[in-house]
Amino acid sequence: MTTRREFLVLAAASLAAPTAAKAQLDPNLAAKRKAAYEEALGKVVGGARVRAGRVKLQLPPLIDNGNSVPLSVAVESPMTAADHVKAIHVLTQRNPLPDVVSVHLGSRAGRAGISTRVRLADTQTVVAIAELSDGTFWSDSAEVVVTLSACLEEGLI
Amino acid sequence: MTARAARLFLALSAARLFVEPAAAGEVPLSERRSGYEFMSRETRAMQDDDTGNPGTLWVLDGEALWKRKAGASDRACSDCHGDARESMKAVAARYPAFDPALRRPVNLEQRINACRVGRQKAPALAYESRDLLALTAYVTRQSRGLPINITIDARTRPFLEAGREAFFRRQGQLNLACAQCHDDHWSGKLAGSPITQAHPTGYPLYRLEWQGLGSLERRLRGCLTGLRAESYPYGAPELVDLELYLMWRANGMRMETPAVRP
Amino acid sequence: MARAVVTVPAQAKRGEIIEIKTLAAHAMETGFRRTQLGELIPRDIIRRFTCTYNGVEVYRVDLHPAVAANPLIAFTTTATETGTLSFQWVGDNGYSVTEIAAIRVE
């Protein structure tokens, strides 16, 4: 499906001078981003099964500006030497690159999690995956709506 | 291209929004609201917590610069003004202020540069440079929580009137006045974004769109470009007059620097 | 100049989980933006953040261009002993910043 944003970009690119052609969207963009996401996911989990649960990914559902979106991940775990979270990965499905952050931690963290601020290029699904010390993977995802600010700087066209 | 195309779309929508003449009037005191109140919970939280507010990085830079010797005089701001937490308290809340030498109001950035050139014998800092923003943010931070306090006298009244006139004057290819959005339609939205009342309570502020700190003049220049009007250069008298009017219009509201805005 | 700010409690009880907040001054240029002339602006990001506690790594983050400018990283660690928490940000173009915080554990 073509989003409003992609439509606007394509429409503008088709109207603009040849210099704008550099910025023209690849018609296979959606498929390429999906493939990039699948590849990034594969690097994180290998062939392992990813189960829903244990992970809580928090993002505001409606976002003032995609340049800086508060994101936090918390994973349920006793965080002992025998049973803890080894890594937390955050991936996006429609950013130019799927990777956001990868956290490497251990029992000394006390609680498994991270709070940060991320860039979201578009309305999309964000995924957090936790790798546990027993080798299992758990995940949560969140749908976010990114709106464009009305009063952007630079010029109009 | 994405943003540009969207802006054209918004410009066209905005033009449609204002075909009917609107009654122009200033926002009554009881209804004045900071841009803070129009923001999402998350963006407010980003402003409220100093340890997570990215504007803190500039304020701390400003503190270091305040104490650093500069120019041929080999003096720091602190050598004359001492502890900014005392000496600069409430100062930014009364800027732009009248400069007797120039016989017109100057904004805080211009006041800082006048001190650098005149007293420290150092070159002026460029508008929007990290150092000028940092010093301005640090000085203004000393007014946080205090009310904006612009006093107008016979010397400054003509400049206030010039700023007011600019606020109500239709400008640019969209033929819009500031007042049409910020006095008459502040409860509405432009595309998905709330239209605010344009009270400059938090400058210099961290704007998520800028991904950095910026001055009120940067914002005003952005607004003018948005109207497809020709903008003024940084420090232009027209911009300072408008800043004076906006600060006067926000008299009594609390300073928030360093604020965060979308 | 303040290139990074860290917030760490000055003291804690042994075994207490403490909250740490860090901010680094960095544009996190994505490598996807273009100038008005259409030229690509090269990527310039922080790639790695590491927290060590008395020399032992306790928390590490790999960052990608999707992390917002002036990155905030907040996390927890267990107060084990009196000593030093060291925070290091390493990135493109030789960027490297280290901040240190002392903690007293009773």
CATH fold for domain A4-146: Immunoglobulin-like (2.60.40)
Identify whether the C-beta of residue A10 lies closer than 8 Å to the C-beta of residue A25.
yes
- What distance in Å separates the CA atoms of residue B7 and residue A149, rounded to the nearest whole number? 9
In chain C, the number of structural domains is 1
Look up residue C10 and give its two tokens. 């000055």
Every domain of chain B with CATH number 1.10.760.10 lies at: 32-43+154-261, 55-141
List beta partners, residue A129: A89, A139
Reported CATH class of domain B32-43+154-261: mainly alpha
CA C11, distance to chain mean position in Å, is 20
Q: Which ipTM did the prediction report?
A: 0.94
Q: Does C65 touch chain A (CB under 8 A)?
A: yes
Domain-wise residue ranges, chain A:
4-146
Per-residue confidence (pLDDT) for residue B12, from 0 to 100: 46
Flag if C5 and B211 touch (Cβ within 8 Å): no
Q: Does A51 touch chain C (CB under 8 A)?
A: no
As a whole number, the mean pLDDT across chain C is 95
Q: What is the least distance, in Å, from the CA of A148 to any CA of chain C? A: 16
- CB atoms inside a 10 Å sphere around CB B97: 18
Identify whether the C-beta of residue A108 lies closer than 8 Å to the C-beta of residue A124.
no
Q: Which of B42, B56, B58 to mutate to test the interface with C (most CBs of C within 10 A)?
A: B56
For B128-177, the pLDDT digits (tens) are: 999 999 999 999 999 999 999 999 999 999 999 999 999 999 999 999 99
Flag if C62 and A104 touch (Cβ within 8 Å): yes
Identify whether the C-beta of residue B242 lies closer than 8 Å to the C-beta of residue B220.
yes
Per-residue confidence (pLDDT) for residue A64, from 0 to 100: 79
Flag if B57 and C25 touch (Cβ within 8 Å): yes
Where in the sequence numbering do the catalytic residues of B fall?
Answer: 223
For C60-89, the pLDDT digits (tens) are: 999 999 999 999 999 999 999 999 999 999
As a whole number, the mean pLDDT across chain B is 91
Q: What is the least distance, in Å, from the CA of A8 to any CA of chain B? A: 6
Contacts with C23 from chain B: Cβ below 8 Å: 51-52, 54, 56-57
Q: Which CATH architecture has domain B55-141?
A: Orthogonal Bundle (1.10)
Block residue for tokens 């305040």 = B66
pLDDT in tens, chain B (262 residues): 455 555 544 554 444 444 333 344 577 878 899 999 999 999 999 999 999 999 999 999 999 999 999 999 999 999 999 999 999 999 999 999 999 999 999 999 999 999 999 999 999 999 999 999 999 999 999 999 999 999 999 999 999 999 999 999 999 999 999 999 999 999 898 877 889 999 999 999 999 999 999 999 999 999 999 899 999 999 999 999 999 999 999 999 999 999 999 9
b/e code C88-97 from CB counts within 10 Å (16+ = b): bbebeeeeeb
Is the alpha carbon torsion for B55, B59, B62, B64 positive or negative? negative
CATH number, domain with residue C42: 2.60.40.10
For C17-54, the pLDDT digits (tens) are: 999 999 999 999 999 888 888 899 999 999 999 999 99
- What's the pTM? 0.88
For B127-141, the pLDDT digits (tens) are: 999 999 999 999 999
According to the 3-state scheme, what is the secondary structure of chain B? Answer: CHHHHHHHHHHHHHHHHCCCCCCCCCCCHHHCCCHHHHCCHHHHHHHHCCCCCCHHHHHHHHHHHHCCCECCCCECHHHHHCCHHHHCCCCHHHCCEEECCCCEEECHHHHHHHHHHHCCCCCCCCCCCHHHHHHHHHHHHCCCCCECCCCCCCCCHHHHHHHHHHHHCCECCCCECHHHHHCCCCCCEECCEECCCCCCCCCCEEECCCCEEECHHHHHHHHHHHCCCCCCCCCCHHHHHHHHHHHHHCCCCECCCCCEEC
Alpha helices in chain A (DSSP H): 4-15, 29-45
Identify whether the C-beta of residue A82 lies closer than 8 Å to the C-beta of residue A55.
no
Q: Is the peptide bond before B96 cis (omega within 30 degrees of 0)?
A: yes
Look up residue A84 and give its two tokens. 């803890």
The DSSP bridge pattern shows strands B189-190 and A99-105 to be: unpaired
For A129-143, the pLDDT digits (tens) are: 999 999 999 999 999
- CB atoms inside a 10 Å sphere around CB C52: 16
Structural domain that includes position C81: 4-105
CA atoms within 13 A on the CB side of C67: 32
Flag if C17 and A96 touch (Cβ within 8 Å): no
Higher pLDDT, A34 or B191: A34
As a whole number, the mean pLDDT across chain A is 85
Give, as one character, the DSSP assignment of residue A104.
Answer: E
Find the closest chain A residue to C79 by CA distance: A108
Higher pLDDT, A152 or A1: A152
Block residue for tokens 């950013």 = A95
- What distance in Å separates the CA atoms of residue A78 and residue A97, rounded to the nearest whole number? 33
